[in-house]
A and B are shown apart, each in its own frame.
Chain A
Amino acid sequence: MHNFSLRKTHALNGYVETVNGINICELTDIEIFALAIPIGKERTAKTSFKKYFNCGMPDVGKLEAIHKNQMHILRMSNDQLFAINKSSSKSEFRKIFIGLGAKFYITEQTDSWVGLKVGGNRINECLERICMIDISIEKFGVNNFARTMMEHMGVIILRTKDHEFEIFSASSSIKSFLHAITTSAKNI
C-alpha cells in the first residue's frame, strides 16, 4: 500500500575536510545511548553492566572511556552513562541494550548528537581557541573525556589519540559548531 521509504541524511552530509592541517571528519556511522541508573538499583545495574560489557562500570568522576568492540562507555554523572558505538555491527550492539534495558533506563541519543573527529599535529592549538578546559596531553590524556562548552554550545570532548579528539555536539547547532572548528583551524 505504501510506496514511501525514508532516507537517512547526515547532519553535515558526511563532512570530511582538511583545513590548515587539521583533519575534520563527521562520524556518520555511530549510535549513542544514554543509560540512567535507577535509584536504589545501583548494585543490580553494576552486575548487569559487567555481564554485558565484561568490565566494571567506570567510576563516577573518572574521566576515561572504555574501549570494547569500538565502544566508548562514558560515565557522565552519578546516575548517567553514555554508550557510543562506532562498530558496524549495530545489531549486536542493540542486543546488548535490549538486555540492559531491564536494569537501566535507556534513551537513544543517536540523533541528538553529531560527532566530529578532529586531528592533526596542531590540533591542541586549534582547540584551545574554543575549548576552555585544559586539553594538554599531561592533563587530558588519551581516553579522557569531559563535558564542557565551546562557543556557547554544549559538547562532549574525548581524546582518542595524542593528536586526535572526538567531539560531540548537539545536532541542531552542528553547523555552527563545525564553523567554530574550521574557523579555529584557519586562525592558527
Chain B
Amino acid sequence: MNKVMRLHGSKINRKKHIKFKFNDKEMTGVDGDTLASAMLANGQMLFARSFKYHRPRGVLTAGSEEPNALVNFFNDHSWEPNTKATTIELYDGLLAKSQNHKGSLEFDFMAINDYFHKFLSAGFYYKTFMWPKSFWEKIYEPVIRSAAGLGTLEKKDDPSIYDKGFLHCDLLVIGAGPAGIMATLTAAKNGLKVILCEEDFVLGGRLNADTEFINEQAGSAWADDKLDEIKQFANVKVMIRTSVYGSFDHGIFGAVERKTDHIRSSGGKPRQILWRIYTKRSILTAGALERFISFGNNDRPGIMLSSAIRTYLNRWGVCPGKRIALFTNNNDGWRTARELRDSGCNVVAVIDSRMESSNQLDGVPTFKGETIIDTRGRKRIKSIELKDGTTIETDCLGVSGGWNPNIHLSCHQRGKPVWDDKKLCFLPDKIPFGMKVAGSANGKFLLSDVMRDSIQKTEQIVKELGYKYKKISVPKCTGEDLIIEECWEVSGTKSRSWVDLQNDVTSKDIYQSYLEGFHSVEHLKRYTTLGMATDQGKSSNVLGLAIMAKIQKTTVGDVGTTIFRPPYTPVAIGTLAGRARGKEFRPYRLTPSHNWATEMGAVFVETGNWLRAQWFPKPNEKHWRQSVDREVLETRKSVGICDVTTLGKIDIKGRDAGEFLNRVYANNFGKLEVGKTRYGLMLRDDGVAYDDGTTARLSDNHFMMTTTTANAVGVFRHLEFCRQCLWQELDVHMISSTDGWAQYAIAGPNSRKLLQKIVDDNYNIENENFPFMACGEITICGGTAARLFRISFSGELAYELAVPSRYGDSLIRILMEAGKEFNAVPYGTEALGVMRIEKGHAAGNELNGQITAQNLGMGKLISKKNDCIGNLMSEREEFEAPESLRLVGFIPVEKSKSLTAGSHLFSRSIEHKMENDEGWLSSVAYSPNLEHSIGLGFIKNGHNRIGETVVAVNLINNQLLDVEIVSPHFLDPEGERLRA
C-alpha cells in the first residue's frame, strides 16, 4: 500500500525506510515523514474518533493546526495523549495509538452517540442534567467525561526531563517560510544578532509544499540554498522544532524547542526546552493557514484542506486518494487541482463556488457557481452531492475556504485584528511595540509580495536599531493571487455541517447559541466550545464568526474575535515546570551543622527555604514527643544546644546607624551601650507589629541586627527601602551576613560552664562581666574570631555563639564534645518552640500581621520621643482600647486534655458564633516541666481576665474544651534563670 500512495517528494529520503506501529499495526514510512504522511502513504485514512459524536475522522491538515488526527504517542517512556499526527516526526520503532473510543478505532461502541445527535447539541448538558442536583458530580459528570473528550493521561509521573533557558537577540524571526528566510538573511547581512525559530523540522514553510519558483529555482531548493547561506553567519541562531508560543511584555517571547521528541530515546537529555527569548525587535512571519467551508457531513475521513493535499503531494510524495475532488471559493483550490493532475493523480472534479472564476483544467469536470451540500461514506468519503443534485464518486475531497493570516502572536498583548473585506481575513492591527508582521501573516498572498514585504519590514528594523542598511534585492517569484469570494456555509442541507471539527461544533450549534441569546463572540465560544482545545480553532474560528455574522446580518469584523492568549500551540505542563519538580521545586538552604545533624539522625523541617533539625530522636524513642520532651527537660536541667543560624543577621554600619535603628524600631536604640543587646519590635506603617529580634551594638558605628527566620529577606528589603528612599541623608550601610555566621544557642544552667571550656582565657563571661543582654567580639578555641550574645529565647541562662560559617560544623562537634560532662543535648525547633511557649515569648504564630504591640502587651515599648515607623498609627483609639486582644497563657481546666492551636475562644454559656468570638489560641505545646498542655493566645481584655475559664472551640475536630486564662509566663516569670 505504501508504494501505491507514494508518488514523488522533495523532502524525504526514500532510501531510508522506517518501521512504526499504529494501533499495533506495523507500517513503513521513510526518513522525513511525519506520522500523518506515513499513515496516508500506507493508505490509512481513519485516524481518530471525534470529540462528542465519536464519528470517524481522518486528517484535515498537514501542520500544527490539526483538529482531527490526535493520537496517543509513546514518547521515550510514557504515552502522551492528544499529540498531532501531523507534527510527529517518524522514527524507527515509533508507537502511536488512536484515542477516545471504546472498542477499536474501526468499531467504536460510543459511536452510538451519533445516532442521538439531536439530543446532544450545544448546551444540552447544562439543561438536561440539572436534576437531581446530587447526581451531577457522582453520576452525570463522570459518565459524560468518559463518553466525550480527547485522550487521557497515563496518571503516572512524567519520566521525561524538561529544561528551560534564556536567549537574547536583536531580532527574533518567527517562522521560516519565504518571509522568515528573507527577513533573516536581510537582518544577518546587516549585522543584527538574529534568532530564527521554526516549529517544523525543515525550513521553507509553504515553499516545501508548493511548486513556486524563486529566481528561476524551485522554491524548496531556494530555501535549502538560503539556509546554507544563513548558516554561514555567526550572528544567526537557527532553531528548528521550536514553536514560539507567546508574546509577552518588553520584547519577551516564550518558545518551546522539541529536542528529543523525534528520536526513539532521549538518552537522558531534556525532551523539550522552554526558552525565554529577550529581543529588541521581532518579525512575525508565521504565514497563513487555510480554512474550511461548512457543508453537509463535511467531517468524513478523506476530506482535507486543499493546501494539505498539496503539502502531502509535494513535500512527502503522498497522494491521499485515487479519485480526488476539490471544493474552493478561491484560486488556491485550483492550484491544488492543477498540481495533482500534473503529478498524475486522478482529479475527478473541481467545484468552485464563484460563478465568475476564469480557471480551467483540461479534462477535469468543473462546476462553477456550485457548492457541495452533502457527502457519503462512513469511514472514508465515498461520494459528494452538489446542490444541483449531481453526485460524484470520490475518495478524497480537498476544501479551500480561504486563508487566515497567522496573527496570533501579534494579538497576545490584547491586540485586536481588523477584518479585510477584500481578502476575507483578519489582519494584524495595534501590534506590540518592537514587532512587525510580514508576508502571508500580514495578508500578502502573492509570493513576490511576501518577499517585498519581508525585506521592507526588516529594513525598517535595521534602521530603527541604528544599523546602516545594506540594500537587499527582491527575488523574482512566480505565483498567482488568491481572488476569493465569500462562501462560508452551504445552506439547504438537512445534514449536519461541521464548523469546529475538534469540538464537534456544527453550524446548528451556532444558530442555537444565537437563539439562546449568546450573541457575543466570547459567549459563543463558551456556549458551543467553538475554538477551544488543542487547535484553538485555527481552522474553525473565522468560519464560526462568519456564520454568526450572517445570522446577525452584520460583518465578520463587527462580530470580532475572541481574545488571543498564549500559548499559540499546546505546551506540556512538564515543559512549563521545566526542571523545577519535586525537591528541585525551589532551592533549599542548609545550616553549617546540617551534616552533623544528619549523622545524629535529626528529623528535619522546612522553614522557608531552610532545612532545620526538628528533633534528634534516640534509638529507644518511638514518638516525636518523647524526643522533644527529653530535649526540653535535659536543657532546663543542664544544657542544650540548638542551631539558630537561620535567624536573619544584618550587619548595620555607619555614623547614623543608631538613629536609623531608632526610626525603624518602635523602641529606642540610639542610647544602647556598646557591648549590649536589646530586644526590638518593628512596626509597619499602619502600626501593626511586623517583626522582632535582638540587635547588638558591637561598636559605636556597628550594630548586628537579628530578625526572625521567616522575615529575614523582607526585613532586609524594608531596611534598604528606608535607607535608600526615606532617609538618604543618613550614613547607614547594611549587608546581610546570615550566611556568613554559624550561630548556636547554648541554653541551660550549665551553659556558661560549657562555654568556658572553649572561650579563650582572656574573655571573662561570668555574670558580673558578661551579664544578661551583653554581647561582644571574642575568640574561642585558641584564637578563632567569634561573637557572643547573652540572650535567651528559652528562658534559661543562655548564650548565642557565632563563628564564621566555615567553622560551623567543627563548632557543633566541639560543643557536643565539651558538653559531654554536662550531658549536653542537641535540641531542635520543636523543643525550642516548647521552651519559648513556656517562657511566654511571642514568635511567628503571634506576629501574624494582625497583631499590635498593645496586643502583645508591649504598648509601653513604643517610643513616644522618637519618630519611628508606625508609632503614630499605633496610637489609634482601637489599638489602645481596653477590650482589645491581649496575649495571655491558657491551660486546660482538665489537665489531661490537650489544647489545639487555632481554637477560638468564647465566654462560657454563650453561643459559638462569629459575633461572640473573643480570640484564639495561637501556639500550644505539651510542657514536660508542667506535665500538661499549655498555650499562648489572644483574648479580649485578656490581661484583666487572669483566672477566668473560657471555652476553646475547635470546629475542625469538634472539640470544646474549658480553658483557664493564665499569665503567658508559665516558667520563671521573674526571669531569675536567664539572669543567673
Contacts and interface: CB of A to CB of B under 8 A. Distances in A.
Interface of A: 1-2, 4-11, 34, 36, 38-40, 79-80, 105, 107-113, 128-134, 136, 139, 151-153, 170-173, 175-177, 179-180, 183-184, 186-187
Q: Which of A39, A133, A136 has the most CB of B within 10 A?
A: A39
B587 A105 contact: no
A129 B164 CA distance: 6
Interface in B778-809: 780-782, 784, 803-809
Nearest to A106: B653
A131 B166 contact: yes
B160 interface: no
Contacts of B810: 6-9
B803 A187 contact: no
A38 B731 contact: yes
A111 B740 contact: yes
Contacts of B804: 108, 110-111
A4 B757 contact: yes
B653 A2 contact: no
Contacts of A80: 733, 735
Range, interface on chain B: 35 or more
B270 A187 contact: yes
Contacts of A177: 587
Given A113-B739, A129-B165, A172-B645, 10 more contacts: A11-B805, A105-B654, A107-B653, A107-B737, A110-B806, A111-B806, A132-B166, A134-B168, A173-B587, A173-B589
B591 A172 contact: yes
A9 B590 CA distance: 14
B269 A40 contact: no
A130 B164 CA distance: 8
Contact of A8 (B736, B782, B806): B806
A105 B653 contact: yes
B305 to A, nearest CB: 38
Interface in B814-840: 814, 817-818
Nearest to A41: B731
19 contacts: A6-B784, A6-B807, A9-B807, A9-B810, A38-B733, A80-B735, A107-B653, A109-B735, A111-B806, A112-B737, A112-B738, A112-B805, A131-B166, A152-B586, A175-B588, A175-B590, A176-B589, A187-B161, A187-B579
Interface string B704-742: 000000000000000000000000011101011111110
Nearest to A40: B731
Contact of A4 (B586, B735, B818): B818
B163 to A, nearest CB: 5
A128 B431 CA distance: 29
A183 B782 contact: no
B587 A79 contact: no
Q: What's the dominant secondary structure at chain A's contact region?
A: loop
A152 B587 contact: yes
B161 A6 contact: no
Contacts of A151: 587
B878 interface: no
A38 B276 contact: no
B766 to A, nearest CB: 15
Contacts of A128: 165-167
Interface string B184-198: 000000000100000
B589 A172 contact: yes
A73 B33 CA distance: 57
Query: Can you list the 10 inter-chain pairs with the closest CB atoms, starting with the nearest?
Result: A36-B733, A176-B587, A134-B168, A112-B740, A172-B589, A111-B805, A105-B653, A39-B731, A129-B165, A111-B740
A143 B887 CA distance: 56
Contacts of A136: 168, 193
Contacts of A176: 587-589
Contacts of A139: 168
B593 to A, nearest CB: 11
Nearest to B586: A152
A112 B807 contact: no
Contacts of B758: 2, 4
